[in-house]
Amino acid sequence: MRTLTVALEGDSYPIRIGSGLIDRQELLLPHLAQPRAVVVTNDVVAPLYLDRLTRTLGSAGVRCESIVLPDGEKHKTSATLETIYDTLLARRCERKTTLIALGGGVVGDMTGYAAATYLRGVPFVQIPTTLLAQVDSSVGGKTGINHPRGKNMIGAFYQPRVVLCDGDTLASLPPRELSAGLAEVIKYGILGDAPFFDWLEANVDKVRARDPDATDHAVYESCRNKAEIVGQDEKEHGVRALLNLGHTFGHAIEAGLGFGTWLHGEAVAAGMVMAADLSRRLGLLDAQSVERIRALLARAGCPVQAPDLGADRYLALMGSDKKVEAGKIRFILIRRIGEACVTADAAPDALRATLALAA
DSSP string of 294-310?
HHHHHHTT---S-----
Cα 341 to Cα 320: distance, rounded to the nearest angstrom: 21
Q: Which of 172, 200, 235 is the last residue of a domain?
A: 172
Confidence at residue 319, expressed as pLDDT on a 0 to 100 scale: 87
Average pLDDT along the chain, 359 residues, taken 10 residues at a time: 93 95 97 97 97 97 97 94 97 97 97 98 98 95 91 93 97 95 98 98 97 96 96 90 95 93 96 98 97 98 96 91 79 97 91 91
Shared domain check, 338 and 248: yes
Shared domain check, 52 and 19: yes
Instruction: Indicate which residue of 226, 280, 281, 323 is catalytic.
Output: 226
Instruction: Indicate which residue of 187, 251, 323, 330 is catalytic.
Output: 251
Confidence at residue 318, expressed as pLDDT on a 0 to 100 scale: 92
CB 165 within 8 A of CB 223: yes
Shared domain check, 334 and 247: yes
Shared domain check, 113 and 187: no
Confidence at residue 326, expressed as pLDDT on a 0 to 100 scale: 74
Distance of CA 323 to CAs 241, 267, 330, Å? 9, 17, 6
Q: How many domains does the chain have?
A: 2
Cα 250 to Cα 261: distance, rounded to the nearest angstrom: 12
Instruction: Indicate which residue of 184, 221, 234, 266 is catalytic.
Output: 184
Q: Which of 172, 189, 213 is the last residue of a domain?
A: 172
Any catalytic annotation for residue 31? no
Residue-range definition of the domain harbouring residue 154: 2-172
Shared domain check, 12 and 123: yes
Any catalytic annotation for residue 247? yes
Among 101, 212, 102, which residue's Cα sits nearest to residue 158? 101
Instruction: Indicate which residue of 75, 76, 142, 161 is catalytic.
Output: 142
Q: Which of 172, 192, 217 is the last residue of a domain?
A: 172
Shared domain check, 217 and 127: no
